[in-house]
Structure 1
Amino acid sequence: MRSLSIIAVSLLAAACSQQSDPLPAVAGAATASTPAAPVATAQAAAPGPKVSGEQAFTMCVACHSRDAGGPQRMGPNLHDVVGRKAGSNPGFNYSPALKASNITWDAAQLDAYLAAPAKHVPGTRMVIAVPDPARRQALIEYLSAP
């Protein structure tokens, strides 16, 4: 499990470093001499230009797809996630904690989960948090769109 977290953080860092509009660096990214943090956090930057949902989602694509019929990756496909029961996307092996959470994804649930996944659903496998409320809002609006 720890190696999956390290891979996820590494992929996210690589994806972010290739953006023309770079996203904040990932805190807790492991190096050869430091252990991985249990939960990585996308650092909140000083207020800047508004980020679109599509731009905000670029930090998610290392683990998630959003397209209808898109692949399951390290994380589940997020197409039509709003209104769906947590842990119910067929073909993805969710953590027992997320399956048992009894959450139906709406804006409030997504906001709380994205702010602190392990706090909102202890035992989840999601390792990336989005502490910036504006970025979370942009992500939620993007995931809510058809």
Structure 2
Amino acid sequence: MNSRIHLLILTVCLVVQQAAQAAGDPQLGRILYQARCASCHSAQFNGVGPAHAGVFGRKAASVDGYVYSTALTKAGFVWNEKLLDAWLRNPEKLVPGQKMGVSVPTAQERADLIAYLKTITSTSH
């Protein structure tokens, strides 16, 4: 009986750890953002790419002062977790003709970046 309890506890811990990983870690996401995204993006300012502050719930191609591709301007969707995951996995597949030439192939890195992007508001960072 004692070994069954230990096995159950171990199983629960593994499930909780996997769920936490799937949800993404905003601290790891911030590190990834600085390493992979900051050469083109900023939270608050447009650069090569548009500013990311407030990206969740924002209509695609709607940051003032940034010149988007016609394709993304016509996309008409609002950024959410599912769309950002698809965008980061393969922007060209999601929106053919867009102009971002970078992708994030690993699911965990995308989850971490998305968790971080959720924390960026127009007044933070």
| Counterpart pick for 1:81 among 44, 55, 80 | 55
* Separation in 2, partners of 1:127, 1:88: 19
Structure-2 residue corresponding to 1:64: 41
Cα deviation per residue 1:21-65 (whole Å; 9 max; x = unaligned)? xxxxxxxxxxxxxxxxxxxxxxxxxxxxx8701111021000000
1:63-142 equivalence runs, <5 A: 63-66=40-43, 70-142=44-116
Cα deviation per residue 1:64-115 (whole Å; 9 max; x = unaligned)? 001xxx3210000000001000001110000000000011000000000100
| C-alpha RMSD over aligned residues | 1.3
Q: Which runs of no fewer than 5 residues in structure 1 stay unpaired? A: 1-49
Q: Looking at secondary structure, tell me which structure has more strand per residue.
A: 1
Size of the aligned set, in residue pairs, is 94
Residue 116 of structure 1, CA deviation? 0.2
Using the size of structure 2 for normalisation, the TM-score is 0.72
* Separation in 2, partners of 1:137, 1:83: 17
Matched-pair identity in %:
38
Q: Looking at secondary structure, tell me which structure has more helix per residue.
A: 2
* Separation in 2, partners of 1:82, 1:76: 14
Structure 2 counterpart SS, 1:85: coil
Runs of 4+ in 1 over 4 A off after TM superposition: none
Work out which of the two has the higher radius of gyration on C-alpha atoms and give 1 or 2.
2
Using the size of structure 1 for normalisation, the TM-score is 0.62
Q: Which runs of no fewer than 5 residues in structure 2 stay unpaired? A: 1-24
